[in-house]
């Protein structure tokens, strides 16, 4: 068992933060600039489904983007300028966040991404997508580009439990995620997997089992989110009609600490809580104060003298 809680930390975190990864690699603060490239999703346009995943907002999870109607170049430049007000001189990643950012033919993909790979002020590219939207020619394109500039592909898993996936109207299987991760592993692209805690009717044990199962597969990073019930989403409407249990802050912290214990110690932690826009958030209100959430996780790990990878089979 690996038993150094601070191997991948410079600020007493007991897990491997994305900030530490970037600082170690680039010796500077790196900020992701969220972009909306105008993609849609096969789960919205009728190819696989209508209405999208039940938890997904009308903005395709791109709620943090201030102006959807700006061209991509302007979105990036203004977004990086905004980031530099908080972190002067930070380096920028172009983060294609909204909807499914590989859901197009190769020529369209090239027209969107080539200019960003060519920009000197873009350190790397991050692409949020679905496991069932990585055609061979598109993946080959990004694999080639990853030799020029750091490239990440983010894939939504959410849960390994098929009954949950069906409730969410995901319209693809867990096995498709495993296949996508296997393909990415054979390239220089880095992979990040998203999971959501407190999905309808999942037990704490099932949430932890999602991480246990994920850890059997190749991936580089993870984003752990608490479920956000957002106005006008299908899931929020169901909740109003028939409320289901939602984790409290204390329960969420306990689940995340247990999940971290089962994650490999060299898995990069990109998030331990998500961004729910306060004006549109129905529940849970405690997620608005992200710093409190992460502080509680840190305090619990210190109190229990535990760390990322403590129970991992490859620690």
Pairing of strands 281-283, 229-230: antiparallel
- Residue listed under structure tokens 């969410």: 168
- Domain count along the chain: 1
Confidence of residue 59 (pLDDT cuts 50, 70, 90): low
- Is residue 155 within 8 A of residue 131, CB to CB? The reply is yes
> 108-133: b or e for each residue (b if 16 or more CB lie within 10 Å)?
ebeebbeebbebeebbbbbbbbbbbb
Task: Kindly state the tokens that stand for 252.
Answer: 């969420």
Predicted pLDDT of residue 68: 62
Task: Band the pLDDT of 277: cuts 50, 70, 90.
Answer: low
CB 79 within 8 Å of CB 98: no
pLDDT tens figures, 189-202: 999 999 999 999 99
Bridge partner list, 124: 93, 150
Residue 57 lies in a domain: yes
Look at residue 2 and tell me if it is in a domain: no
- Tens of pLDDT, residues 155-168: 999 999 999 988 88
In a domain, 8, yes or no: no
Kindly state the average pLDDT of the residues 304-311.
95
pLDDT of 62 reads: 46
Per-residue pLDDT for 209 more than 90?
yes
Domain range for 190 is 18-303
In a domain? residue 238: yes
What CATH code is carried by the domain that includes residue 48?
A: 3.20.20.70
Question: What's the mean pLDDT in 68-83?
Answer: 91
242 within some domain = yes
Determine, yes or no, domain membership for 205.
yes
Residue 175 included in any domain: yes
- Report the run of H or E that residue 127 belongs to, with start and end: strand 124-129
Rounded-to-integer distance, Cα 90 and Cα 86, Å: 9
CA 101 to each of CA 142, 188, 312: distance values in angstroms, whole numbers, following the listed order: 12, 19, 32
pLDDT at residue 206 tops 70: yes
- Asked if the structure places residue 64 within a domain, the reply is yes
CA atoms within 13 A on the CB side of 152: 26
């Amino acid at each position: 068992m690996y038993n150094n809680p601070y191997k991948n930390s410079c600020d007493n975190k007991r897990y491997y933060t994305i900030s530490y990864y970037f600082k170690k690699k680039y010796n500077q603060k790196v900020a992701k600039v969220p972009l909306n490239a105008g993609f849609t999703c096969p789960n919205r346009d009728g190819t696989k489904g209508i209405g999208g995943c039940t938890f997904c907002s009308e903005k395709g999870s791109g709620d943090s983007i201030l102006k959807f109607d700006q061209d991509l170049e302007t979105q990036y430049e203004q977004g990086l300028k905004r980031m530099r007000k908080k972190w002067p001189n930070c380096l920028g990643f172009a983060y294609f966040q909204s909807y499914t950012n590989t859901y197009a033919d190769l020529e369209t993909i090239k027209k969107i991404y080539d200019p960003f790979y060519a920009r000197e002020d873009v350190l790397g590219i991050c692409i949020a997508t679905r496991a069932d939207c990585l055609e061979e020619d598109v993946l080959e394109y990004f694999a080639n580009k990853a030799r020029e500039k750091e490239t990440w592909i983010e894939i939504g898993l959410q849960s390994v439990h098929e009954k949950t996936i069906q409730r969410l109207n995901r319209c693809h299987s867990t096995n498709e995620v495993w296949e996508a991760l296997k393909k990415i592993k054979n390239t220089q692209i880095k992979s990040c997997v998203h999971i959501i805690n407190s999905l309808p009717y999942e037990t704490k044990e099932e949430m932890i089992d999602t991480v246990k199962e994920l850890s059997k597969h190749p991936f580089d990073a993870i984003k752990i989110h608490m479920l956000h019930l957002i106005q006008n989403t299908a899931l929020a409407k169901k909740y109003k009609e028939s409320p289901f249990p939602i984790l409290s802050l204390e329960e969420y912290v306990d689940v995340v600490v247990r999940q971290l214990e089962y994650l490999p110690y060299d898995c990069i932690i990109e998030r331990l809580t998500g961004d729910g826009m306060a004006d549109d958030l129905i529940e849970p209100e405690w997620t608005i104060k992200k710093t409190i959430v992460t502080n509680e996780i840190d305090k619990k790990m210190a109190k229990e003298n535990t760390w990322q990878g403590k129970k991992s089979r490859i620690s």
